[in-house]
Structure 1
């Protein structure tokens, strides 16, 4: 099987698809530490939101509860993995990185940073019960 192309920032180019398989393909193709962190994030979301829906669109893993709506995504950049909460401004505490979109907030995970599951799981739990973003 041909390895996926890595786009800027080491973001794997994965065909649009719904379900766990395209997300696992994205994670497997993500280089080095980005793949390891993505695997941790995916497992955290599955533990926190049983039965979570998954998809890959725009080379980005998405997570949702209702069909066609998404509460979270992540994307690889050169120096960090960007975790997106589509209704992040409604989370408590609010994730630290602002967006040009008023409801969206981000959390960046850099190489060699320990991931504290507690606040991340709390954000995931909170985000999963808010209305999802339709895309």
Structure 2
């Protein structure tokens, strides 16, 4: 299996792991939901976890990979406010936690680019 063919499966695995984590440890994710969003944080936690699981399934299947990877790129853009919220909320935590929260914000860029790359390499392939 080539590096190019593994990349979509690694992306699907990352999405699946993150999605499952929303259901296994929802309290952690509830705290990241921007307070400006309507409704309960738990509903947003479960909804975003379900979206990540659906995206993982879509990226894993060659027939739906290009569309799902584009949607994943959009999703990564959409969750950026939650990462910014975490960085703001954790600014007074101990240095390792604070630094982890700060690191999440710029890490969105490589995730977005990775998903776009998977989409481009999958277009027209079935």
Higher relative contact order (CA 8 A, sep 6+): 2
Q: Which structure's residues are more often helix, by fraction?
A: 2
Q: Which structure's residues are more often strand, by fraction?
A: 1
Pair in the same fold by TM > 0.5: no
